[in-house]
Structure 1
């Protein structure tokens, strides 16, 4: 009898190779009935997992790439990316997948380095993060039929992506401030070439309009997802008589709160603050930050699972997953 392989078990169980791999490595993402079927086949055949053979099967590299098209200061200053990478690596490790990180600081660098990467067959598929509207990478991936999944919403019908419901999350944040009786609610955006920033701004606008509020463009300041940009934006807003602000990320919210503190404006008595992400600094802020929680680590893990499914089964129809957010009320909006 020939040596049993993952492919043999997959065929006998009527599932994909990646599903068998996840069962063998006790990955939690497999449905119970599928896990039971695979384990039954393994028991009947006496299959013994061979990590070396698994790596060689299918002529795969067992490497997936993570592309982050952000400046280094954004990557290492914002806790969002470390948490995302943590979710990705936690999904990769049980499957004996190596994660290769590609950092591109400019669009020109990204466009020039991409052909070298793809020609060398360095990976089985890619996860992209950054989600800029004018990202040059995505069209090249589609053109070259490279398996990939994007973290962040995309308009292209063939792009597989995962995202959180940024519009609904921002809407919940602003509705919360309106219910508290705040009248002049400002917004500090993220970088507006980023779809998440666009969606969060849209949620802010929708919430005001849904409550019959007039949108005052003077109360919208443009940031870039850095603490420094929000610090400067808040100084400009302080001259406009605001009593609340929705900030497009927790990191920026901390910058806004620093500006308020330096101006001797009390939070939340004079100005209430709501952020977005629910990263660890939100809980450690003084006072603790009300924010919108998004499941960042889960997004990372689901990105790996989705990419493996694309590698095994093709990219059509496109998989589009939008995960819900949650309002987490703390002291910066008056609840202590």
Structure 2
């Protein structure tokens, strides 16, 4: 059962008793010693989560050697990471910020290996803190790491058990609402959307923004197709939309890369952009600038977001107080794909 929050703070001994290990084993886990079995690490981490135990970070710093290494964890495939300009910009921002510190960056592509292996690595004294980008709600691997290691998420976590985590995000719902409102104000009335994965915060929030705008204008809200932030899946999603309703006159895609995929499908069907169908995206990356026609989009500061993530983590690792939530601005950029 969860510990009564009104009682005194949980102790190391209580954690040891609940985990069924010795006090010294708990201390080694808290101090990220490599000389602990995987089973003991998992038992202690579970006990820490249940009791709400907060290790004394000052004591930990005296008991363990600083590595001056920061891990960037991306729970995606290698192919997706290196094909998406968002990741490149975030990594650039992180690296630029850390260049002026004593920390080096270690990139971990979490989907390419066992998630428990990544977790053991992070908690094994190999890094001083972690940044997690592009997390999914079904991935509980990093839910409790923040109990023992400073962690900052890129984007609002969806998991209920990490709602108190530190994160940096943009107003995805507000941006999606603004660009959809632009489509409405330009006279479009049958507006579709291609969402991102709905187990990820950007996918959920950008869909929410689109729904808010079309429902607020008393327009249909049934033309929804899901993709995975890739060009190929968005092209297929746009084809499905056209099959369902050939009279669609606008589409908001949850990323610029997906909006470029929508353009491909529209060209295949002989639909003109923006004369027949207006197209808008989200990100403000090179897909929006180089597509034909150039895309109306919501520009988000991905490089600055990465830098802010690194800044918050460095402050946490130094033991300083920082805000749990940092929101970055977005901007509507109107280009030829919406005709105004």
Same fold (TM > 0.5):
yes
CA contact (8 A) 2:71 2:105 kept: yes
Shift of 1:302: 0.5
Name the CA distance, whole Å, in 2 between partners of 1:140 and 1:255: 37
2:280 aligns with 274
Name the CA distance, whole Å, in 1 between partners of 2:142 and 2:122: 14
1:131 aligns with 135
CA contact (8 A) 1:111 1:137 kept: yes
2:153 aligns with 150
User: For 1:221-268, what per-residue CA distance to the aligned partner results, in whole angstroms no more than 9, with x for missing partners?
Assistant: 011111111100111111302000000001111111111112211100
Distance 1:318 1:88, change over 3 A: same
Matches within 5 A, 1:177-216: 177-215=183-221
Which one of the candidate residues 316, 323, 326 is aligned to 2:328?
A: 323
CA contact (8 A) 1:111 1:136 kept: no
User: For 1:142-185, what per-residue CA distance to the aligned partner results, in whole angstroms no more than 9, with x for missing partners?
Assistant: 34x21010001025332000000000000001000000000100
Shift of 1:206: 0.5
Name the CA distance, whole Å, in 1 between partners of 2:268 and 2:139: 37
Distance 1:317 1:280, change over 3 A: closer
User: For 1:37-67, what per-residue CA distance to the aligned partner results, in whole angstroms no more than 9, with x for missing partners?
Assistant: xxxxxxxxxxxxxxxxxxxxx9422111100
Which one of the candidate residues 220, 226, 233 is aligned to 2:224?
A: 220
SS state at 2:219 partner: coil
Name the CA distance, whole Å, in 2 between partners of 1:320 and 1:136: 20
1:113 aligns with 118
Name the CA distance, whole Å, in 2 between partners of 1:210 and 1:310: 41
Shift of 1:95: 1.4
Which one of the candidate residues 175, 182, 192 is aligned to 1:176?
A: 182
Stretches of structure 2 that go unaligned for 5 or more consecutive residues are 1-63
Matches within 5 A, 1:21-60: 59-60=65-66
Name the CA distance, whole Å, in 1 between partners of 2:251 and 2:286: 20
Name the CA distance, whole Å, in 2 between partners of 1:69 and 1:313: 27
Are residues 1:243 and 2:258 paired? no
Equivalences, count: 272
SS state at 2:100 partner: helix
Shift of 1:210: 1.8
> Which has the larger share of helix?
1
Shift of 1:317: 7.0
Name the CA distance, whole Å, in 1 between partners of 2:298 and 2:271: 23
Which one of the candidate residues 83, 93, 98 is aligned to 2:104?
A: 98
1:49 aligns with none
SS state at 2:144 partner: helix
SS state at 2:107 partner: strand
